[in-house]
Structure 1
Amino acid sequence: MKIKELHVYGYGKLENKTFSDLGQLQIFFGENESGKTTIMSFIHSILFGFPTKSQNERRYEPKLNAKYGGSVLLVSERFGEVGIERVKGKAVGDVNVAFENGKVGNENDLKELLQGIDKNYFQSVFSFDLQGLHGVQDISEAALGKYLLSAGMIGSDKLLEVETKLQKQLDARFKPSGQKPELNVKLRQLKDLQSGVKKADEEQRTYIELQLKQKQTEAELLALKETINRNEGTLFYYQEFLRVQPLFEEKQTVQNELAKLGDVPFPVDGLKRLEQLVALKIPNNAQLSAMQQKQQENDTSIEQLNISPYLTANKEKWTAVLDNAPLLEKWEEEKSQLEQTLRTKEREKENYKNNLLIELHDDEISKLDTSIFMTEKIKGLEREKHRLESERTRLDEKYKLEKNSLEATEARIDELKQNQLPNEERRRLERVYSPHSNGNYATLKKEILEEQIAELTQKYSQLSAKAKRNRKRSAITATLLAVISLVTSGYFLIGEQFLLGGITALFAAIAISFHFFINQTDVLADLKQQLAHAEKKKRNDQQQTEEEPSLESVSIRHLLQKEEEIQQQLRAEAVKHKERTAAFHLVIEESERWEASWNKTNEELASIMQKWQIPFNSKDYHAGAALELLMNVKHAIDESLELKKKLARIERNFTQKKQELFTICDELGIFAANWREAVIIVKRALNQHLEQSMLLNKYKQEKRPLEMEIERLQSESAFLSDEMNQLFKAALVEAEEEFRKQARLAEEKERLTTSLQMISVQLEKTTFHSEDFDALSVSKVSRYSVEALEAERKDLFGRQSVLLEQLSDMKHRIRHLEEGGTYSDLLHQYNETKAAFNTEAKEWAKYALAKSMLDKTITTFKRERLPKVIVLAEEYLSFLTSGEYKRILLGETVDGLYLERYDGLRFEAGEVSRGTAEQVYVSLRLALAQNIFGSDGFPIIIDDSFVNFDRNRTANMIRLIQKISESRQVIFFTCHEHLLSYFENAPIIRLGKEKAGIRK
């Protein structure tokens, strides 16, 4: 069976890709992420179905909504050409199988075509990748033989996995000397329960006797408890009587004293209320006397004041004038400052006008256009002027550069023309010289040899550098291994393990020798030999060519060649001269355009300056500075006008306020020399008037409150006297002394009443009544009666303690027996544990039987099927290892395989290197694939499974693949370009990250 074509509709990153005419040995080459693994997974998915979402495997669904799936074209000996198409549908996809005879099949027909194998079986036998080799590296040395044996039987480690799982299940249930397995635990439990059943039979009788005695003790404790309760009740009754006896006696005494006092009329809190009234009346009378005296003094002060009505009528006018007095000082100072500032602004304005050389009047200057539009226009013209100046510098440099280049080209042309041969001389030499007939061939041959030598030299340099890096890495590795081996050897020698120490020392010597003796490659030597041969051939051809022509012919040929070179140089220089001339004219045109722009800009600036009547010089004049000066002049003019207006306003206000002060002084009849003296005179007169007015207001304000306070104090005094008379009337007395005597009698009665209430409250909280108290008083209960009851109670509690201790001991013994379990309980538990043990033993027997059947199956495989695989695997292994290992031997048990070296020495699988173990694994897998399904077997798919092999074994592996491909299709995926040199005659499909190309 052979895969002829792959058509990918959409799978992972691959979309609408076709790989047709796949060869018997087909190579897919590409860098990482170019799609090699995707194509390998595509083949598996089309043949056996897409991975389901529940499986732990990538589905490779397209990301750009392409159609998911594709088709594979197979060639089978039984069915001919068969097309298999699978697209997205149900769980594993919808499949159509198109046979050569026109029949269209389904999933069942595909299974028949694939001879009933599934995806796992196909991947185990016919599909190789690094995962299988990593399995060899990860497995322990003890299990390596079983792993390789399993690979030789079914192509994978499934047998090893199943055997390991069965053994784990058996060990988890029972081990002969185990402690934790379930059967071991239950067996110990059965032994312990059997001993417990015997012991329970003996303890049963003791348990019954203890229960009977416990009941008797509990009945005795119950009777004793009732006696104790009666004793405690009587004791509490006697103690309560002795406690309340003093209260009954005190109550009788208080009642007798209250009867003697009789009825005492007195107002509630009478004494306290009297004291409060007396305390308020005394200070009230004193304050009333003081207020009346203060009222008389106030009336006298008002009569002594003399306030003029004229001053009162003009007070507001005087106050307003005085409030403006600080303004006069301020206006006088501002006037002086404004006059100074105005003089400064006038000088500044004249300086600006002189700098501008302008002679216009201030009103005319203010009308000049300095708007934002004009400002932006001037700024734009100035920027354009600066740009043109910079452009002028660049054009001058460019002009100079192009001119020099043009002159240099013309000089070179003149020089070449002087070196030319005359036309007649050149024609004569051409007639005389006739090239050899084989000249063109010799030239062509020379060029081919030079190209070949250059290519060999470059390739030799690259490989030499690579070999040098490899030798450096080899030296580091060898040194590191040697150091580790020597340290390990020293450790073994110190521990007196001389054999291991000698072996590790020998390994260090081998590592160093390997570096010094195996450091050259055959490829470099071959390249060096090819390069020497090509150079030798070139020298021979040159020697033959130089010997053939005569000296005269050589000289003529040299002259003609030199003339041809001069002609070629002239043509080249003519082209350069044309280019330089065009570039020079472009520079001139740019200069002319610059000149026009420069003149236009200066004209616009001159027009603006003419409107402003400012002289303009295009070379040295800066319009922006002129604009700034002009704006400063206008600003100075505006400020001067504003200062003059402000100065006139201040002068007017100052004169008006000053005249008002002088008018007031005239009305007062007082002369003032200046406005400051007038302010002082007015202020002094106003202050005197204000002081007298304030005193009058003060006395008037104090008079009314005094009158109101005197009225209030008089009212309070009358109220207090009336309240005192009411208290005397309530106590049926007329004077204060009699009232206080009556208060003491009322206080004594209240104290006795309160005491009687407290005693009654305490008696209400007791359980005693008057009748009970009288009865106990007659029986003469005393402290001695209580002591007798307490002694009896102590004896009862001692007896109860002894019985409780006995009962606790009996309960402890009964509980101990119950915890141990009765005989019937222990017997039931024993039977249940025994049944559980039997169930677990049956489960163990099931796994033991499965293990036995697996061992028999492996033995059958080893006896019937495996020998054929082993014979072919031995042939492959011997070829891969260059005869180092020649035989693969089966163990007598199911423990694994053995290898026999060329010298007859045998090794277990775990004793050889991991690299050799990988080669044994590959040999077994290839042999198994070759022995399954005969001539119509499946293609073998390999994905970079041999990158860890050394150079020689990798070459052997490639040759083995080529040999196998003669009878079965092999599809090989690789990302290592150096491996392609081994497949010169095989078709190679190169995969790129964006598109794939095919080279055959």
Structure 2
Amino acid sequence: MKILEIYIYGYGQLENVVIKSLSDFQIFYGENEAGKSTLMALIHGILFGFPTKHSSDLRYEPKHSTKYGGKLRVYHEEHGFAVIERVKGKAAGDVKVMLDNGAIGGEELLKNLIGNFDKSLFQAVFSFNLQGLQNIHQMKGEEIGKFLFSAGTLGTEQLSKAESFLQRELDARFKPSGKKPILNEKLQELNDLKVQLKKAAGRNNEYDELLMKKETLSREMLQISGAFQETTEKINKLKEWKRIESAVKEERWTEKTLNELGEVDFPARGIERIEKINQLIHPYKAEITSITNRVENLKEQLVDIQPDPELLTNEPVIVKLLDQIPIIEQAKMEKQQSERKLAEYDEQLSITREKLHLPLTDEEILHINTNIYMKNQVETVTRKKQKLEEMKEELEKIYQEEKKALEDIEKEVRFAENKILPQIERIPLEEQLNQKNDKKSFEWELKTIQDKIAFFQLENERKQAANIKLKGERKLQLLLFELILFGVFLYGIFTKQWFLLAVGLVGCISLVFLLVKGTKQTNEGNIQQTINSLKEKEKALQRNLQTAEYLDFKTLENRLTLDNQRRQELQLLKLKLKQQQSQYEKVISKFEDWELTAAENKEKLFSISKELNIPEYIGASFLAEAFEYIEQYKSICRDKKQLILKIEQITHQQSVVEEGISSFGNRFLQEIGHDLHNIAYLLRNKLKEEHEKLIKSHERANKLEELKADLKQKVQELELLQTEHNKLLLAANVNSEQQFYELGEKAKKREELLDRQRHLQDQLQYSFISKEEQEVYLSIHESDELIRQWEIEVQKIQVRLENNQNENAALNYEIQVLEEGGMYSNILHQFKQKNFELEEAAKEWSVFRLAQEILSNTIDKYKNVHLPRMLSKAEEYMSFLTDGSYKRIHLQKTGTGFLVERDDHTLFEANELSQATTEQLYVSIRLALATTLYEKYQFPIIIDDSFVNFDAKRTKKIIELLKSLKQNQILFFTCHNHLLSHFQREHILCLEKGTVQVT
């Protein structure tokens, strides 16, 4: 995936910023606080969601704008071009993804684009900064190898942290020779308890005897305590009886008196209630008499003021007719105006028909199709006709220009053809120039041959002297070898060693052959023959030079050069002519296309004219105007029909109102023969009078109903009072009020006794002496003497209890002495408890040990399956960065970590390398991870000033390496001006607090 454009709505200090045309290796340069970190955070935020409010990452919400978010335009290898937009919304923002094929989606489509990567994995693989290098600086020597291994597997130090965490947890729980770890401490405690358990077993028998004696004494003390408690309880109850004795006796007397009175059935507050009812009955009787008289008077008044019911029934119709009188007057004026306007419509129709001049009736014109589609067709055909006419004028103008240009070029071509040399004249010139070339070659060849003759003559003289000397020496050597080989041959014959015989024979034959050949070569190697041949060639060349004509070659060359230039000009003119002919033919082709289009438009125009019932000669020139007049005619006809209908409606409405008012005037008015307005006035007055009567009658009727309701209520209330009076007498089961009052006094006395009884019972309910015990205590007469005897007995029991307590204390002391050394059962309990704690701690240790084993197995599998391919690429990068000084990277045989091999085959652990070399190793591993194990995810690699600690040479090498990564886009952020010289200017974007500039 490659990021092509960045649009920032509002993010931190960046607002309304657009960055386009990002290259495959894009440099973002800016000083501190220019917005580099903001831009990187925006890219991460759009792809993976904005940080939440509870996150430790900055949200970069703009301070001066409500817009928050932005969008990226990217190219994806599988889905093509896409736009990813994320703005403020839910926790991580609302995202919208739009593909070029029209597909639109949200988070699911975005996950499909980014291969389900999350932010942490993306930053671990494709985004790194100074933090990774600073982690190396801050680590101890033995931790560096683990960190680099973790960076090569996950892209971060998480694997190294996990491994260190598990090892720390295991060490905190157990070490073979440790004392402080948890398991070590518990093992020591368990051993100590085991020793104490053996000692306590010997004293266990003595301890059991003391426990049995203590148990017997405890039972005896428990019995004495029970007797003490029982006696004390008796004394307390007797004292309590003395306190409540008078109240118990009074309660018994009250209960006896109530039984003598017996039950009294009397209503609650009966005396008070009957007196209150008697006070209300007399006023009610007086009010009922007064209301009855007023009802009779209102009935007499209602008879005298009754309105005319028939007139009031027809009131809505009459009022509606009376209200329409002003409308009828206005309608008369509208009718006059409509009649005038109707005459104007007839005049307009006549004028429009004359302009159309069509032999059609009104109905035929109204049935012509003038809908929106037909209007659009007319406008389209008319505009196209006008456009075709304009196009024709333009084509004619272009045709004349192209024709003139073609004729001018043809003239130039003919003029250029007349200026070049004919072929008959050019061929002799070329042949004469060729003779110049032959002369030069003859002269050069003659000089060469003469040099050769001189060389061979000198060589011949030198060799003749040397050959005489060498010939004798060589012949002597050959003869000596011949004798030796002949001796070998004879020795082989005598000793019958066939191999030596064959060697001697072959050697003799070979030396004879060489001797003969050397003589022959010497004879044939005579250089004189070569010199003679060269001299004959010299004579032939001299003859050719003598016969050659010496001409003015400079003039010939100038003529041919000029002719060549003219021929080139001719070729250019012919090419230009060919292009102009092509342009001319294009114009003619456009004329043909125009004629075809014009014919089609004309045919369509005639078709529309036929559909509109317009003659072709009118349609060809005035189709739009004719259509407009037809529309106008139809509109006037429709308006005319509506106007006629309106006049008829006004006439009908006027007649209905006049007839209705006259009819009601004859029915309800005594006077007749008045005009319409007088009848309306009299009807309104009549209605007003009847309404006044109706209002008065309603008021009287309402008042009458109120009085009747009030009378009815008073009668009902009086009846209720009488009923309540009778109920009270019935409830008391008496026949007169006198008997009711006597029974009330008796009920009052009983109520007082009941109150006193309840008071006494309230006092006695807090006593712990039950009623049965009260009956017993009523028979006791000398309670004080009895209390004194029980107190003496209590003192005796206390003395016995104190003696037992002293003996129990002595036993407890002896038992304590034994328990200070550790009683067997307690120590055994502690032993089992410690053993259980040891098992639980061992379980925790086994969990971390199992996790460490799983992690180790996972690392081993990764080392054997995936890591070799990544290491191969990391070795390639490392060798390039170090100019071949470090060529190989090996895995540690056990655990995690790397060994780096130098060019002299020396192996180094990561902590043994220099700081700069360690950083180069880290960069090589990170880049190899992105380009091998994650090669199918071609995300941009984001680098934030990760190489500021490198010297100039290392910086140059790392930048060359990044430029060679063609598979991934590189986004490089820096604030160091000296790094810009390594990049092309068109690939650098300058950031300046909210703005972006191309350097």
Normalised by the length of structure 1, the TM-score is 0.47
TM-score normalised by the chain length of structure 2: 0.47
